[in-house]
Amino acid sequence: MMNLNQRTAGILLHITSLPGPHGIGDLGPAAYQFVDWLAASGQRIWQLLPTAPIGPADSPYQSVSAFAGSPLMVALEPLIERGWMLAPVLPDTEKAGSGFDPHKVDYARVVPWRIAQLREAAAGFDQCATPQARTAFADWCTSENYWLDDYTLFMALETAHSGKCWWDWDAGLRKREPAALVTARKQYASEIAFWQFVQWCFDVQLGEIKKYANGRGISIMGDLPIFIAHHSADCWARPDLYFLDDQFQPTVIAGVPPDSMAPEGQRWGNPLYRWDKMAAENFKWWTLRIKRALQQADVFRIDHFRGFAGYWEIPITCPTAVEGRWVPGPGKALFDAIKNELGNLPIIAEDLGLITPDVVELRLGCGFPGMKILQFAFGGDATQEFLPHNYDRNTVVYTGTHDNDTVQGWWAAATERERVFAGTYLAAGPHDIQWAMIRAACNSVANMAVFPMQDVLGLDGAHRMNLPGTIVNNWTWRFTWDMVGAEPGRVLGMLSAASGRGSFALLK
């Protein structure tokens, strides 16, 4: 388990952003190369975005499962090495300049192609897997059945219903009538086995890269969305845990209230938890979810932490988030129940946005570090909480997150007053603002400092990962090794070393 009180630094880079020939970053050779680069650069953290399957608009925050791994992240090279599939032929390779874009994920092309390769590998596994591999697969399916059985049946039924949402399935299946489920498991046994195989491959590969990273002194930081998607195995398996009507439609949904950035608020659409029902079961569902997260990461960030203190409830009839209301969340009782089952929790609380005293009290009561974003620091005066001189140690400081512009993009869009303030505070200008922010984060008292890879590379706003409130051109960014070179890692290592976050031997 990672020591959250140790001074460390790291990089925020989603797996899908890694280089590689197969259209999207995955858990293959480039992941190991990136770990080596992190170690050589004096970094001790690799922060990921959610590794769950993507959902609408290709978002990893609207997944069909809170427990499953993304099929798109399963590397093909290990499957080829084990003889379960042939080296794939890239699509349209007969055309000059065709194939996959190394700088951007084209999900419309990548998703069907990758799934087809995984189906070939699953067929190869059925035909020629060793007895040891078959035993390992069977044992894994047994150990993970608490989430795997519902997820794989859900995926088989979604395929059988041509992608329809679960509330539009045949009545017996959407209502989970026992006889209908037994029949479906027999009828779709082959498809269920395919999704089991994919999840096993994901778990094995993620476990191996985590072990390799840990061996090089690097911790994996995961990301846990607070809410689940309506069209998900989680909601289908336990509809009683959510505010749904007799037709399995939400009566209230999640979002955030209006503010200066969004005058109508944000209407996310996720179903809301019946916290009373969850409390009656001693929060068992959440305990299992955290248990799963700790299998995959050394520490993880919980997105929208404030929702555990109080959340914005929006009536389903409201087309915006204006008519919502604040409703108390489960509070510390949730985390006490999980801690009693699992021990100390290596959690970072994403406490950005409208933070009220009850949220601060909950975070401090749990002992979780909060977050600070340097890009937010220069819109006010010297009392601004995001300025480094106002931090406390139990903090994770970022130059920006996946939801922010790059630092170079921020500078280009900043007001003149923000530029003067930032330039004065950081002793920087347009050509080195990203390094000045990284240096300020490193030199702060915050125990952890994390930088998006785009900022380490000094990239402009065209390379940002996500623009909240939009549904196109997000989650697509990738880098290639020729964009990196030797200098970023060298400078990063020196700054980390000088600030007590890395090996002092790198200060040269």
Task: Give the DSSP H/E element, type plus range, for residue 296.
Answer: helix 284-296
Question: Backbone phi, then psi, for 190, in 5-degree steps?
Answer: -65, -45
d(CA 389, CA 376): 14
Single out the catalytic residue among 203, 223, 234, 350: 350
d(CA 53, CA 247): 26
Residue 245 falls in the annotated catalytic set: no
d(CA 389, CA 405): 23
Q: Which two tokens stand for residue 197?
A: 């195989």
166 conformational bin, left if phi > 0, alpha if psi -120 to 50, beta if neither: alpha
Question: Backbone phi, then psi, for 331, in 5-degree steps?
Answer: 65, -155
CB 9 within 8 A of CB 45: yes
Q: Which two tokens stand for residue 140?
A: 């894994």
Residue 303 falls in the annotated catalytic set: yes
CA dihedral 272, 275, 278, 283 (to 10 degrees): 100
What pairs with residue 373 in β-bridges? 398
Residue 403 falls in the annotated catalytic set: yes
Map residue 179 onto helix, strand or coil.
helix
Single out the catalytic residue among 126, 149, 403, 460: 403
Single out the catalytic residue among 150, 303, 351, 455: 303
d(CA 193, CA 374): 47
Given strand 266-271, what is the order of strands in its sheet?
A: 266-271, 252-256, 310-315, 325-328
Map residue 45 onto helix, strand or coil.
strand
Q: Which two tokens stand for residue 497?
A: 């070393």
d(CA 59, CA 57): 5
Q: Which residues are catalytic?
A: 303, 350, 403
